[in-house]
Structure 1
Amino acid sequence: MAARDEQQITAIGVTLTVASPWVVQESFTGLVAGPSEEALESPVGPRLLVDRGSRVRQAVSEYVPGLGSAPPIQVVAGPDTVSFGSEEGVFVQYLEEDGDGDVMKWFAVVNVDGISVYQFIVEAPESEWDAESPGLIAIATSAIFEASTAASAGQDDASEGD
């Protein structure tokens, strides 16, 4: 088996190592990575989304059953702990009924240094989950957090009055 090329992507205070030539798009609050442009544009992936800060509270309310306006979901694993290097987070895996087909999602939240909160969402069509999720989850859990960026992001988030 040939060795694959890898690239490191740093944004929002986190560094991810992804296969090259993956496509990565950055925004002010996060990034999205996937094996192709089509995966990023598809409403169901496969892809990895990472956000930080004040959007996490909104995301949790949207993805936790009974809160917000979440679509029908079926929890299939968790909640349980997951390691992100030296940091520990919590994840839940669930099947979401979607108009474009059922989507399996792995949703994790990690608090870095007690200051910044990051959310990781791995999503793929249910039919592709077994093939795509191990690599995407491995990328997410290998995240390296930059303490100084995380600290300043947390101070910004605290001033927003979460």
Structure 2
Amino acid sequence: MAMPMPPPPAGAGGMPPMGPMGPMGPMGPPPAADMPGMGTMPVMHASFFWGHQAQVLFRDWPGDRASAGMYVLCLIIVFTFAALVEALSAASRGVSSRRPAAVLALTGLHAVKMGLAYLVMLAVMSFNVGVLLAAVAGHAIGFLLARSAVFRQATRGDAPQNGDLTPLEAELKP
């Protein structure tokens, strides 16, 4: 008959000593930590949800307030950041210069654009549907205003006139 093995002593085998386990045994949630200065952790969503009580980008922002005003402000900021990403992309497009001052300015512009793009991405990672829609709408409106020819004055270089060659055809012509 096999004898049951006694439990290993605390700290044996390189493992830390085990504390009290939750009501469900080793598969249950860990016990609540009573650490000074540590607040309760915010709810982290693993799927998209609706609602104005969300944490986006920063702790307590827009926060769990009864008013939806801060949430609307949050959506406006995410929308604006997304539109600015598109505007900065359009502004840096087609600009080429070898002057050091221009190269540094373009590098700074690119850094600001990427910082805003990452902030928009992190905001969307809050899994709030309103934030996702604000980001997509901001990118769409930013593209419409900055990159499309809808609101720009037509210039001679935009479209070939009757009989004109396109720039590619002009380069290929012998």
Q: Which bin holds the TM-score, normalised by the shorter protein?
A: under 0.3
Report which of the two has the higher share of strand.
1
